[in-house]
């Protein structure tokens, strides 16, 4: 009997040790926690999510302590070239050959869509910080998508709605001819129609075009109250320059539906001053944003765009979830991310919904005129804070991955 008890005790102890070892092994599913950052290193969106997105992710990893679950946090980065096929190939290689757990950055909705599909198929996490289309939490929603920073719904509700309500009823669109531009124009048109306005027409411009003259002439002939630029990055800058050269800015309002601080800096204040827009972040909002932004500027040489701040914020939220979950297992981490309210200098009054949409306060801002600016970085004045529930659309039942 005693021998049996000792044998039983030994078996119990051995089982407990084995269970402990098994649990430890599960801390990291493949012995590492690895992030990939896909950005536009030399194209139209390089200023808003190129090397700056890589730096923002590096800062998050460093501020987190460089390790999680007892392992160094690894990071790889690459240039998407704004080509979905290139981005898809890189993502597949990272996931299948290099053990990347989550991919972030992701400027351009077409690129994000390609990467999201790869990650959904392989059950890896997509941390979307730089894309505007709302498809990632609607038509192509996935239990592995996390959409941070902003989307076309928030931009349209923030910028278009108050302009239509103020009497600017007739609109004409100059639109980037790919999924992001189409989505932004579509959502803005919906808001215009719902508030008693009218869309008179549109033109589609290829991504990265430098000659907007023909598009501006068509807008000029439309008789619109507002010409909406449903584009971003250098496309917005070049379109506004052409609008000023042809005198369009003297005849009608120009609305930049997605303007980033680096692009606002590149615009002539005589032309852009007074333009109102919606942003997910402004570096000079308060002490918290200024503190982080100054650190970023020291490394990058320029103040951050909202995408840069979003990359830092979502990277930190992901790493905190891995730590809290005690594993990098995708489903467990996603559950932990959604159960934890984001709360940092970027994410204010925030919630990460079951559909992967991060709902947070947005900012309605005005580009300052030249005589209002203290220095080159003094770009916006904040008109009001838009609560997240007013900025973003409700979650669709079919995308409730709770």
Per residue, the 3-state secondary structure of 226-262, as one string, reads EEEEECCCHHHHHHHHHHHHCCHHHHCEEEECCCCHH
End-to-end CA distance of the chain: 51
The reply to whether 41 and 142 lie within a common domain is yes
Q: Is residue 190 part of a domain?
A: yes
309: its two tokens: 């701040």
263: its two tokens: 């692009």
Cα(132)–Cα(112) distance, integer angstroms: 10
Q: What is the pLDDT of residues 150-164, one digit of tens each?
A: 999 999 999 999 999
Check pLDDT > 50 for residue 25.
no
Work out how many domains the chain is built from and give that number: 2
Cα(61)–Cα(51) distance, integer angstroms: 16
The reply to whether 258 and 385 lie within a common domain is yes
Q: What is the pLDDT of residues 269-288, one digit of tens each?
A: 999 999 999 999 999 999 99
* Confidence (pLDDT) at 218: 98
Farthest-apart Cα atoms in the chain, separation = 100
The reply to whether 89 and 190 lie within a common domain is no
The reply to whether 238 and 159 lie within a common domain is yes
Q: Is residue 163 part of a domain?
A: yes
Q: What is the pLDDT of residues 342-374, one digit of tens each?
A: 999 999 999 999 999 999 999 999 999 999 999
What mean pLDDT value characterizes the chain? 92
Q: Half-sphere exposure (CA, 13 Å, Cβ side) for 27?
A: 14
Check pLDDT > 60 for residue 319.
yes
Q: Is residue 12 part of a domain?
A: no
Check pLDDT > 90 for residue 23.
no
How many residues appear in the chain?
Answer: 402
Asked if residue 342 lies in contact with residue 313, where contact means CB atoms within 8 angstroms, the answer is yes
Q: 240-268 burial string, b = 16+ CB within 10 Å, else e?
A: bbbbbebebbeebbbbbbbbbbbbbbbbe
Q: Is residue 7 part of a domain?
A: no
Q: What is the pLDDT of residues 81-138, one digit of tens each?
A: 999 999 999 999 999 999 999 999 999 999 999 999 999 999 999 999 999 999 999 9
* Secondary structure of residue 337 in the 3-state scheme: helix
Domain span holding position 189: 153-279+363-390
The reply to whether 161 and 301 lie within a common domain is no
Check pLDDT > 50 for residue 19.
no
* Confidence (pLDDT) at 393: 96
pTM (predicted TM-score): 0.90
The reply to whether 202 and 176 lie within a common domain is yes
Check pLDDT > 60 for residue 8.
no
Chain center to CA of 383: 22
Q: Is residue 395 part of a domain?
A: no
Confidence of residue 304 (pLDDT cuts 50, 70, 90): very high
The reply to whether 122 and 38 lie within a common domain is yes
Write the CB contacts of 397 (distance below 8 Å, at least 6 apart in sequence). Answer: none
Confidence of residue 30 (pLDDT cuts 50, 70, 90): confident
Rounded mean pLDDT, 318-328:
97
Check pLDDT > 80 for residue 294.
yes
67: its two tokens: 């390790």
CATH label of the domain that carries residue 193: 3.40.50.2300
Q: Which of 5-19, 166-180, 343-357 has the lowest mean pLDDT?
A: 5-19
The reply to whether 233 and 380 lie within a common domain is yes
Check pLDDT > 90 for residue 303.
yes
Pairing of strands 358-359, 351-352: antiparallel
* Confidence (pLDDT) at 29: 74
Check pLDDT > 90 for residue 249.
yes
Q: Is residue 241 part of a domain?
A: yes
Check pLDDT > 90 for residue 192.
yes
The pLDDT > 90 percentage for the chain reads: 91
Q: Which residue has the higher pLDDT, 57 or 22?
A: 57
Asked if residue 152 lies in contact with residue 183, where contact means CB atoms within 8 angstroms, the answer is yes
* Confidence (pLDDT) at 15: 41
The reply to whether 50 and 161 lie within a common domain is no
The reply to whether 234 and 382 lie within a common domain is yes
Q: Is residue 383 part of a domain?
A: yes
Q: Is residue 110 part of a domain?
A: yes
């Amino acid at each position: 009997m005693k021998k049996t008890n000792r044998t039983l005790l030994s078996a119990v102890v051995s089982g407990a040790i084995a269970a402990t070892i098994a649990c430890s092994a599960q801390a990291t599913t493949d012995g590492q926690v690895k992030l990939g950052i896909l950005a536009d290193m030399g194209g139209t969106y390089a200023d808003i999510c190129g090397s700056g997105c890589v730096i923002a992710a590096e800062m998050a990893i460093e501020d987190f302590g460089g390790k999680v679950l007892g392992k160094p946090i690894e990071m790889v980065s690459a240039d998407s070239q704004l080509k979905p096929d290139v981005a898809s190939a890189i993502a597949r290689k990272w996931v299948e050959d290099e053990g990347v757990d989550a991919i972030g950055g992701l400027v351009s909705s077409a690129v994000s869509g390609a990467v999201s599909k790869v990650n959904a198929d392989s059950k890896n996490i997509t941390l979307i910080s730089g894309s505007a289309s709302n498809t990632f939490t609607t038509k192509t929603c996935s239990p592995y998508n996390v959409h941070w920073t902003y989307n076309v719904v928030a931009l349209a509700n923030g910028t278009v709605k108050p302009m239509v309500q103020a009497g600017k009823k007739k609109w004409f669109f100059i639109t980037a001819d790919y999924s992001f531009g189409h989505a932004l124009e579509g959502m803005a048109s919906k808001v215009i129609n719902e508030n008693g306005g009218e869309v008179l027409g549109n033109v589609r411009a290829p991504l990265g075009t430098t000659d907007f003259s023909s598009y501006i002439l068509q807008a000029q002939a439309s008789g619109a109250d507002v010409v909406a630029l449903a584009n971003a990055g250098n496309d917005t800058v070049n379109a506004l320059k052409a609008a000023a050269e042809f005198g369009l800015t003297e005849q009608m309002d120009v609305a930049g539906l997605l303007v980033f601080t680096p692009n606002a800096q590149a615009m002539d204040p005589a032309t852009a001053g007074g333009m109102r827009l919606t942003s997910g972040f402004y570096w000079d909002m308060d002490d918290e944003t200024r503190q982080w932004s100054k650190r970023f500027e020291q490394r990058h040489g320029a103040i951050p765009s909202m995408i840069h701040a979003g990359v830092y914020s979502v990277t930190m939220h992901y790493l905190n979830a891995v730590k809290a979950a005690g594993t990098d297992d995708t489903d467990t981490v996603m559950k932990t991310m959604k159960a934890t309210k984001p709360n940092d200098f970027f994410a204010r009054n925030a919630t990460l919904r079951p559909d992967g949409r991060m709902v947070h306060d947005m900012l309605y801002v005005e580009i300052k005129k030249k005589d209002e600016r203290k220095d080159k970085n003094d770009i916006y004045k904040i008109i009001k804070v838009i609560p997240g529930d007013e900025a973003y659309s409700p979650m669709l039942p079919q995308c409730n991955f709770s």
